[in-house]
Amino acid sequence: MTTTKPALLYLCHRIPYPPDKGDKIRSYHLLRYLAEHYTVFLGCFWDDEDDRQHIPYLKTLCREVLCVPLPPLGSKIKSLSGLFKGEPMTLPYYADSGMQKWVRSQLVEHNIKRCVAFSSAMAQYLIDVCKKDRRIVLDLVDVDSDKWRQYSTTKSFPMNWLYRREADKLLEFERKISGLADRSFLVSSAEARLFKRLVPDQEHKIGFYNNGVDTDYFDPNLDYKDPYRDPSPILVFTGAMDYWPNVDAVVWFVRAVFPALKQMQTDLKFYIVGRNPTRKVRCLEETDGVVVTGKVEDVRPYLKYATAVVAPLRLARGVQNKVLEAMAMEKVVMTSAAGLEGIEAELGAEILLTNSLEDYQEFLPTILKNSTYSIAQSARSKVLKDFNWNNTLPKVGEWLEQSVARELEHE
């Protein structure tokens, strides 16, 4: 006898496939979990023409899919209306009347009682549909307001003012939506603690679930072709290279750290591996030993055959998938405190903390002597134990099935 799965509305700010970058990895695995237990109605946006081809695949997982184009330039212009409305610019960036109409019609037509919004921006579509008998779960991933506050410290006027304003206005919105929701999840215990400090009156509604890693895919024992074809020792950084924190990280590393490491090991190479490198990133190839690959078909060989992985992030929120994937591939990872957030790995035993040039200078000789294999092994064991989707995602299902204890008034 076949049992009909309950209907569920799932809203994402970016198409949750393919899982080839941080937020899409999390949103995709959440979708897979939800599709196993619910009849999913998916509403999302796409901002990359290459992603349109994946909409048919999403339709195999979901009952209905609405995937709306989100042109970056037009959306940026639209976001400016937030300045005049006294709201965060993030909201009009992702506001779409067609999406709002679709959400309301699906909720009514299919009597949907369970809703999941991925990112604070998508929660705007649920504000007017909160009802006592409807469960609302948010996956905020990171505390976006604090991310904008971090960005403001790196800029001068008027951008620092604009970013501080966005941080303040977005925090107001985060407080509002966390009050309306039954549960708000973040990507790590550290991120959840931060959000509880910022929204203390909603502390009892805030939790986290760790990201996972597909360790069968990120398996160092699979057969990979060496992409380097170079006997030189190689440090590698992976990530989307049009993402500001990644750009900031590699620029700082090349300017402040790599030249001194080259003096220690003259044939040392630094590979920057990732899609859409900005002009600022491309210019780093002018430094001897630096290679910018652009998009690659498979990042795993670049991890497998690297001497070590670096993640010198200075601006970061939440858990860094690039760090977890490198650990899963049994690589020694040298990362900053920002790159380590939410992973809680044992320093010196599972990962190496490198916040300064002196830290890199201390660890490089040991790495070059191949004396850190035990750290690499322990790194993979850490991921296998603590970052498994099968262990983390059921937390979402538990809250979707709990009875709603929402207060009657939302004035």
Q: What is the pLDDT of residues 321-368, one digit of tens each?
A: 999 999 999 999 999 999 998 899 999 999 999 999 999 999 999 999
Superfamily of domain covering 7-212+389-401: Glycogen Phosphorylase B; (3.40.50.2000)
And the tokens for 182?
């039954």
Q: Where are the domains of the chain?
A: 7-212+389-401, 234-386
Outline where 271-344 has alpha helix (H): 279-282, 300-304, 321-328, 337-340
- DSSP annotation of 297 reads S
pLDDT surpassing 80 at residue 132: no
User: How many angstroms separate the CA atoms of 44 and 35, rounded?
Assistant: 15
The CATH number of domain 234-386, selected from 3.40.250.10, 3.40.50.2000, 1.20.1260.10, 2.130.10.30: 3.40.50.2000
- Domains 7-212+389-401 and 234-386 alike in fold: yes
Q: What is the pLDDT of residues 374-394, one digit of tens each?
A: 999 999 999 999 999 999 999
Q: Which residues contact 69 (CB under 8 A, 6 or more apart)?
A: 45, 46, 47
Q: What's the chain's length in residues? A: 411
Record the pTM. 0.87
Amino acid at 198: L
Nearest to 307 by CA among 350, 366, 264, 252: 366
Model pLDDT, residue 2: 53
pLDDT surpassing 50 at residue 410: no
User: How many angstroms separate the CA atoms of 340 and 319, rounded?
Assistant: 7
Burial class of residue 110, CB neighbours in 10 A (0-12, 13-18, 19+): middle
Which region, left, alpha or beta, applies to residue 218 given φ > 0 means left and ψ of -120 to 50 means alpha? beta
What SS3 state is found at 229?
A: coil
Residues of the chain with pLDDT > 90: what percent?
A: 89
| Cβ atoms 38, 137 nearer than 8 A | no
Model pLDDT, residue 407: 34
Beta bridge partners of 72: none
Distances (CA, A) of 94 to 13, 47, 119, 159: 7, 11, 11, 21
pLDDT surpassing 60 at residue 272: yes
| Cβ atoms 39, 50 nearer than 8 A | no
User: How many angstroms separate the CA atoms of 241 and 38, rounded?
Assistant: 36
pLDDT surpassing 60 at residue 411: no
